[in-house]
Structure 1
Amino acid sequence: MSAVLELRDVTFRRQGKEILHEVSLTVCEGEHWALLGPNGAGKSTVLGFCGALTHPTTGSVRVLGEQLGRVELQALRRTIGHVDPRHPLRSPLTVREVVLTGITGTVDLPPRWRPAPAEVSAADDLIAVLGLGGKAEERWPTLSQGERGRALVARALVCEPRLLLLDEPSTGLDVAAREQLLETIDLLDETHPGVASILVTHHLEELPATTTHALLLAGGRVVSAGPVGTTVTTANVSAAFDHPIEVHHQDGRFSARAARRLSGAFA
């Protein structure tokens, strides 16, 4: 499998403070990574590299075969799908229109821009596949948070990306809406099998069942990285969050709870 994302010994400094320390990561097509860690671990900074939004202070970043610093960033960003539940839309666009803004890479529809019939058809197909059939004409302010989440996934996929970034997509969702969104994300393994994805969260319960790999960060450093089953463990999660956390895995889903310290070691 070919790599769609490569970080090599990346460090990042802001106002003299080192935020990331020699982080390396390789994501191949079809892999689904979870980026985990406590608040302030550096997850958002890493995601900024993945989305071609941030340049490293030292080290190298290659996204979809292009090295940051040697490529036109706006064109590269349009080939990356990005799901952010804090999407700053203020206009009462319809679901279809929101999805179509994924083609233009804008929050609102550009003036005088008109989608081609094939683009409208692709948007409607995604709307149906992702469980929003019959809602294409409904307007953004009337949608539930769960419906908005699925619309944003469709928006990210309409440009046919090879890399999909999901920035804490379950933010603000109740349990039912979260589970519906995770089912939608799991469905992408069948509908878009070649797309690689990176999902950022600090809650193990928010990991889709189709997660294949994980990167655990703490204090801007990699605690562990690799296949999800050997990375998201009691010992590694406890180390990353600096607290004894007992990790459980059942039916493809993870859960976590506080564990007791035993003889000064993690259970």
Structure 2
Amino acid sequence: MTNIINMQGVSWQRQGETILSDVNWNVSKGEHWAVLGLNGSGKTTLLNMVNGYIWPTTGNISVLDQQFGKTDIRELRKSIGWVSSSIQERIKGREFAEDVVVSGKYASIGLYEGPIEEDYKRAYQIMEQVGCRRLAERTYQTCSQGEKQKLLIARGLMGSPDLLILDEPTNGLDFISREELLSTIDHLAIQKDAPSIIFVTHHIEEILPVFSHTLLLRQGKVFDKGERSALLTSPCLSEFFDTSVHVQWHRNRAWMTLQD
């Protein structure tokens, strides 16, 4: 496998309105990307397209070297781990944490198939890896927001995916919980067998050094894409956000403030 994601001339329209326009984007095996954009920039639409929930109006898409229109999307999704608020909202609060994680093997919300003992052993190993093993046997509704996000990441890893998509995973977290979660993601990304990770955010300070590449999405169009260090600069982001900003680097992370 060489290409994790390949989009060529992709556009998507809804009720006559263009949501994504002429997107060209290639993610190669071994790369971790951040996708940066304000609310309404088209990030969620882009992710739904990668997962095969919506199809391009124009253009071609292949994910994990599987071309859309020539592959079984339901089978493809089993190789994609996805963490998003939409999934979190659909999980029943009374479900046990380990069952939430195991359900990721089947790419389902809830357990409808009979998991085996090996499934739970693997779930506990993954929970240990992402720092939430102690949550086993607790119900989902008793977990904090940060704990729920770790469980969802563990769930996303349960199927040994080749691609892991993290859609604004730090939303709703306080500063300490956010940094703990980012540390978990960083630890995961540097593992030899780590999946390619797409990290979606609208906060540049969350773009960790492990995310070597960044896609800037604005109003449904690719504003720019390339190496993180080249894009997270004061001139580039001032033009991107259409307002004057100042970027400072601290411990190899970019931090942005409005320019006086």
2:11/2:20 contact within 8 Å kept? yes
Specify the alignment match of 1:149 in structure 2: 149
Q: CA deviation at 1:192?
A: 5.1
Following the alignment from structure 1 to structure 2, what is the Cα–Cα distance between the partners of residues 256 and 43? 20
Alpha-carbon distance in structure 2 between the residues aligned to 1:244 and 1:120: 51
TM-score by length of 2: 0.94
8 Å Cα contact 1:238/1:244 also seen in 2: yes
Matched, 1:191 2:191: yes
Q: In structure 2, what residue type is equivalent to 1:125?
A: Q
Q: Give the residue type in structure 1 aligned to 2:148.
A: R
| TM-score normalised by L of structure 1 | 0.92
- Residue in structure 1 matched with residue 56 of structure 2 by the alignment: 56
**Whole-angstrom CA distance in 2 between matches of 1:39 and 1:141:** 28
Structure 1: runs of 5+ lacking an equivalent: 261-267
Q: What percentage of residue pairs aligned between the two structures are identical? A: 35
Output the amino acid matched with 2:229.
Answer: G
* Residues 117-155 of structure 1, C-alpha deviations (whole Å, 9 max, x = no match): 222111110111111122211111111111111111000
8 A Cα contact 2:93 2:139, kept in partner = no
**What are the residue-to-residue correspondences of 1:76-95 with 2, within 5 Å?**
76-86=76-86, 87=88, 88-95=90-97
1:133 and 2:133 matched:
yes
| CA distance, structure 2, for counterparts of residue 11 and residue 199 of structure 1 | 21
Contact 1:91–1:108 (8 Å) recurs in 2: no
Aligned partner of 2:100 in structure 1 is 98
161-170 or 25-34, which deviates more? 25-34
Judge which range, 12-21 or 188-197, deviates more. 188-197
Task: Spell out, residue by residue over 1:151-200, the C-alpha distance to the aligned partner (whole angstroms, 9 max, x if none).
Answer: 11000001000000011000110001100110010011233544111111
Quick check: 1:32–1:198 contact (8 Å CA) kept in 2?
Answer: yes
**Residue 178 of structure 1 aligns with which residue?**
178
Q: How does 1:7-86 map to 2 (within 5 A)?
A: 7-86=7-86
User: Is this contact kept in 2: 1:51–1:165, CA < 8 A?
Assistant: no
Would you say the 8 A contact 1:43–1:200 is kept in 2? yes
Deviations 1:39-81 (A, max 9, x none): 2211111111222222111111100111112222111112100
Structure 2 letter corresponding to 1:101: S
| Aligned-partner Cα distance in 2 for 1:155–1:164 | 11
Residue 249 of structure 1 and its aligned partner are, at CA, apart by: 2.1
User: Which structure 2 segments of 5+ residues have no match?
Assistant: none
Deviation at 1:205, TM superposition (A): 2.1
Partner of 1:264: none
**RMSD (Å) for aligned C-alpha atoms:** 1.5
